Amino acid sequence: MTKITAAITAVGKYVPEYILTNKELESYVDTNDEWITTRTGIKERRILKGEGLGTSYMAIKATEELLQKSNCNPAEIDLVIVATATPDLPVASTAAYVASEIGAVNAFGYDLQAACSSFLYGMSTAASYIESGRYKKVLLIGADKMSSIIDYTDRATCIIFGDGAGAVLFEPNNEGLGLQDEYLRSDGIGRDFLRIEAGGSIMPTTKQTVEDKKHFVYQEGKTVFKYAVSNMADVAEKMLTRNNLTELDIQWLVAHQANKRIIEATAKRVGVSSEKVMINIHKYGNTTSATLPLLLADYENELKRGDNLIFAAFGGGFTWGAAYLKWAYNS
């Protein structure tokens, strides 16, 4: 019996129209374009404007593009997973709402939260459902409205993050294409260095927590950078050694877009040349759960059937991991 693998068969994306440039940020905090570009590689980021527009809006837009490009009937989708750190609402599943809005009337849906590793973890989850043989079409969306949780007077975070969404469709494959291997990790020490302090069960929302700005992202940059550099590089290298791959076997490195120096360190560790590294951090900044699918959407036209892709991500918590995927189609 032929082994079922889970392949990505379609992608879609959405980024908001509003562009927040480094120049504009100079009017918010003590910074400048050269400082931001040198340390992060970011030139601009997209910000979702408009009353009542949240993460689901971008997730729906990205999915609509995917459906249009693939001619997929949304009624055939079995499951919708929204990987996000910024759901529309507490308790109510963003994915359930997205599924209803896109016409996925036969699907169930739920959110997956692992900070910047959310989409990578979601790939593992989506692939497992497909490989089980129980479901045929799993829609995985990475979407975050980071502007909703960023303090634009905090130089340590406001220069980094942007808003956006990317979507992929996983389907069964009998030719050995799709997800081949994964290595996912976590370490609870991370909550001390990258977190939102209030709004959860430990520190519920009060007037005081709002006044003290405890509902915004806090990041201890140097510590997070150190963990991210070593761990992303470690797991990416592990994917190669565990699958007897060399840098010559890899067509693309798909690394989380948190900081250009982290991306370059990961590429150097696995020996992949710069032309094989997907990069769009200069355009969007760190869109958290959306970085990996946005890369796939931006590079879709360059991807070829059978290409070997190495994914790597690192996020708050801490969460991190890598995956090895064979691309399933020519655009």
Catalytic residues: 116, 256, 286
| CA–CA gap between residue 307 and residue 249 (Å, rounded) | 9
Angle, helices 94-102 vs 55-70, to 10°: value is 40
Is 139 in contact with 81 (CB distance < 8 Å)?
A: yes
| CA–CA gap between residue 136 and residue 127 (Å, rounded) | 10
Cβ atoms < 10 Å from Cβ of 305: 13
Cβ atoms < 10 Å from Cβ of 130: 24
| CA–CA gap between residue 282 and residue 309 (Å, rounded) | 21
Helix H, strand E, coil C: the string for 271-304 is CCCHHHECCCHHHHCECHHHHHHHHHHHHHHHCC
The number of angstroms, rounded, from the C-alpha of 44 to the middle of its chain's C-alpha atoms is 18
| Token couple for 57 | 């809006």
Is 59 in contact with 165 (CB distance < 8 Å)?
A: yes
Tell whether the torsion through CA atoms of 113, 139, 88 and 144 is positive or negative: positive
* DSSP secondary structure code for residue 121 in this structure: H
| CA–CA gap between residue 313 and residue 253 (Å, rounded) | 11
